[in-house]
Structure 1
């Protein structure tokens, strides 16, 4: 198995320590693009290559029922404490009943991540970075990692709803949102709340590589709608949502979306 220790681990120790401390104290944190790039060992060309995967997403028929034009794919992996990644069976995605009010008890079927997406070195480095950060929340032998690349599209007559379910939690340990790109979009503020409704953090992800982290056990979150800046063209917002749930054995999680 591949060990996560190495030059990149040493190089990003400060950024990871800062993110961990913020999660422990405030339950949410924003990592700026320069810090994320240093942690991953990537540059602007790597981000441009990675963004091309968003041109190969599939229609989300479930969001369409709520009037939202959204594209997505879905993948499930296990990540152990050495940094070894293993794909899990591609099954339906389902969330705990006390989390997403739109899809209570519903199994949703999404197209899998493409082979090119999974093989991208930026993607693999990102999951290992998230595992290192999440270790402050739980000393897990294995993380169940669920990966959701999203594109939300808006027009003048149809707002884009990144979170059509509204304020919610995902029923995981760590929830993250990585900005990939925005085009002709206004709005889309991400807000993290305590259970009593107090705002913990509010930010609009603009620059590619900006990473929002949240302790999903202690917070709720939502993203405001987007709309076109130029009414003659559609708006779009591309993000990668990745969640990590602590398990001593990811095999037990194979049947849970």
Structure 2
């Protein structure tokens, strides 16, 4: 597996190791990803967010979130292996709003799940998180495509459960597109609630990296900048949990 050059990856590793989170700007992440693999299907990858389906599991009755889901196993012997569709499950400890049930979501489209962009993102995350946890030989990885829609009459809530942990080891949040929205600021918090940092994913490939065992995270609601036009926030969320 081709991995990012150590000098490129070092700032993200250092911030994750010291603070439990890192913000990587799009141009820097693009350099890391293109060193790892290629993004030749990026346009098709981004366009697939236009075909996400409504999340019908929202306990707040919100109709502002669309998503797809996929599961992979990554290990040293076999590399990246797509898994059969399976439900997404979080306990109520980690998701007070929608946890405690099996949530079956439409799968990521096959061409996107096996395409070069997603494969490259997985390889990069594996290299990064594997460096932080070198004793882990196998990972359970979940992929979430999210579109949060904002409307003149209601805001879209990227984290409707509030500031939270996901119940995994590491999280990568990658911005695909911001369309006509205001706000959507990511905040990072210590377990006692103290805010440790904040930043806004503003450009494609801007990313947040989170050590989920150490810090909590949330995102402020998004509202339309121009109420007369469509408004949404598209992100890819990748979670790594040791097996």
TM-score category (smaller protein): over 0.9
The match for 2:68 among 73, 82, 99 is: 73
Secondary structure in 1 matching 2:88: coil
Partner Cα separation in structure 2 for residue 242 and residue 16 of structure 1: 18
Counterpart in the other structure of 2:206: 210
1:47 Cα deviation after fit: 3.5
Q: Is the 8 A contact 1:77 1:86 kept in 2?
A: yes
The match for 1:133 among 128, 132, 135 is: 128
Q: Is the 8 A contact 1:12 1:38 kept in 2?
A: no
1:136 Cα deviation after fit: 3.6
Q: Is the 8 A contact 2:40 2:117 kept in 1?
A: no
1:154 and 2:150 equivalent?
Answer: yes
The 1:91–1:46 alpha-carbon spacing in structure 2 relative to 1, beyond 3 Å, is closer
1:33 and 2:29 equivalent?
Answer: no
Q: CA RMSD in A?
A: 1.8
Give the TM-score of the pair, scaled to structure 2: 0.93
| Residues 100-130 of structure 1: per-residue CA shift (max 9 Å, x gap) | 1012311111001111111220110100110
Q: Is the 8 A contact 2:96 2:161 kept in 1?
A: yes
1:239 and 2:196 equivalent?
Answer: no
1:12 and 2:5 equivalent?
Answer: yes
Counterpart in the other structure of 1:143: 139
Counterpart in the other structure of 2:162: 166
Q: Is the 8 A contact 1:47 1:208 kept in 2?
A: no
Contiguous gaps of at least 5 residues in structure 1: 248-257
Q: How many residues align?
A: 240
1:225 and 2:234 equivalent?
Answer: no
Q: Is the 8 A contact 2:148 2:232 kept in 1?
A: yes
Secondary structure in 2 matching 1:213: strand
The 1:232–1:186 alpha-carbon spacing in structure 2 relative to 1, beyond 3 Å, is same
Q: Is the 8 A contact 2:73 2:141 kept in 1?
A: yes
Counterpart in the other structure of 1:182: 178
Partner Cα separation in structure 2 for residue 143 and residue 50 of structure 1: 24
Give the TM-score of the pair, scaled to structure 1: 0.88
| Residues 59-118 of structure 1: per-residue CA shift (max 9 Å, x gap) | 101137432411100000011136711112211111133101012311111001111111
Secondary structure in 2 matching 1:128: helix
Partner Cα separation in structure 2 for residue 206 and residue 65 of structure 1: 27
Moved over 4 A (4+): 42-46
1:112 and 2:129 equivalent?
Answer: no
Partner Cα separation in structure 1 for residue 219 and residue 109 of structure 2: 26
